[in-house]
Structures are given as C-alpha cells and as structure tokens.
Chains A and B, each alone.
Chain A
Amino acid sequence: MQAAINITPLVDVVLVLLIIFMVMAPQMRKGPDVNLPNTTKPNSQGDERGRILVSIDDSGGLWINDQAVAAERFDEALRAAVGAEPNPKIVIRGDAKLNFREVREVMVAIEQAGFRGVGLIAKRTGAEGK
C-alpha cells in the first residue's frame, strides 16, 4: 500500500505547459520586431494590452498594433483602432535607427487625429527582450 500520491505525471504536465508558454510568450507581442532605443531610467508604461501600439520599423514603415499601415491611411486606421474608447493610450515603438523626423511626423499625425499625449517606448539598458 502506497500512501503518497504519485506526483510525477503532474510535474510532467506542468513542465510541458511551462515550455509551451515559454515558446509562445514572445510571439504574443503585438506588432513588428522593433529594436527599441536603450535608455537608463524609462518609466513604466504598463501592459501593452489596452494600449494602442504605433510601431515604426527601421525602414520607417508604420504599424498600428499588428497591421502595417500606409502613411496616407494612418489617420483613418488610427481612428479605427481607437474605436469608441473614451480615453485611449497611444504609445510609439520607434526603432533606434530612425531619425527624429520620422518619429515627429508620426506624432504630428497622431496629434492631427485628435490626441495630445503619447508614450515613447524604450528599453531599460541591460534588460532582456525586444
């Protein structure tokens, strides 16, 4: 008679789940891969879910969340992404290689769509990830 529960299958299943999440988690990030600028003390911008992610890749291409957007359709696409959200938070993920001009043009476009504040996303120096 064995009194202890055999936990081997449990640990087995949980470890497999762990591995699945480890593989999936990086792919759950929205938008293109952007090489974010490194800075020393960026402030927290919260969780990317619930934010509207405007990404600018290293060739200046625009993305809203997961979708590549042509510059001339940016306004329209941004309004569509905001939808009926009363207080949307918009963040810009700009590539470190960009000129300030490309980021400024996107900020102007965001302003023209009627929003005043954005978050400029950076990566804490030494932090892992994209």
Chain B
Amino acid sequence: MQFNSNDSGSSLQSEINITPLVDVVLVLLIIFMVVVPLLMDGYDVDIPRASADKSAQVAESQLILSIGSATCPILTPPAGEGIPKNCQVTLADQKIPVAELPTRVATILGGRPPEQRALFLAVDDHLNYEAVLRIIDLAKSGVEDLKIEFVAAN
C-alpha cells in the first residue's frame, strides 16, 4: 500500500516565488504613506524690510498689484473654487476685473528676463487670507518664475 500524499513532491517548482516581490512592494507602500502626508504645497513670498526707506525702493519698473477691500470685498473664505466675480484689483494704477489678471501680468512681465519678474502686492488688511492666496495663485498662472513681494498697503 502506498500513499502518495504529496503530488507536487517533485524537485521541480514551476511557480515563481512572489514573496520577495510582495515584501518590497509593501515596504515601498509604507514609505510613501509616511512621506506623502508630510509634503507641503504653497507659495514663496518675500517680506520687505519694515525698517527700509520706502521711497528708495520704488523703482520705475515695479509692478504693483493693489487689492482693496472696497473694490474686492472678500472678507470671508470664498465658497467653492476661484475668486468671486465682483472682485476688482488695481494693477499698475489700472482697475481691472480679477479674471483678467493672468493675461495682464503676462503682458507686462512676460517680456522681462525671469529674474526681473516681480510682482509687488499691496493687500488690504481686512481681506480674507484664502482670497489673497487665490489671487496670488491667479497672478502666478500667467508667467513662469514670478516673484511675489508684499509691500505696505496705503
């Protein structure tokens, strides 16, 4: 009487061993799961020296974007995406609807060499912070390598 209890008892193993593969993939998964939530997105901005002489800084080529709470009354976080249509901003002393911002900034700064592409922002204190970041986002969408610097609003 013979029991052949193991049909696959031959010395040949036809299946690929997936254990190391599973191992490596799971470790990679864990690494990405730990690292990804720690990555941040945002905008680099410059802060002017509060002590510096304001009049000395003003140069002919400075492009100033003013956002006032009278013409752009966003005092609470804007709902949904984008910026409410009733927002008007002042770019280089011209009042424009905020939707035109990318094209206007691109026309003015697009021709300059990248290191001179700077936008100076004068923002009203009462404006909502999220709205300000969305306007920065919009202004940056027209040109590459745009530098943002805050100046005092008057």
Contacts and interface: CB of A to CB of B under 8 A. Distances in A.
Interface stretch (A13-21, A65-73, A75-83): A13-21
Interface in A99-129: 99-104, 107-108, 110-112, 115-125, 127, 129
- Closest A-B pairs by Cβ, 5 of them: A42-B41, A37-B130, A101-B125, A121-B42, A96-B130
B44 A117 contact: yes
Given A3-B8, A10-B19, A121-B41, 16 more contacts: A4-B17, A7-B19, A10-B22, A28-B38, A37-B129, A39-B134, A42-B42, A46-B40, A47-B35, A48-B40, A99-B126, A100-B125, A103-B132, A104-B125, A119-B44, A125-B81
Contact of A44 (B26, B39, B133, B137): B39
A18 B129 contact: no
Interface stretch (B47-55, B88-96, B103-111): B47-55
B47 A43 contact: no
A22 B33 CA distance: 7
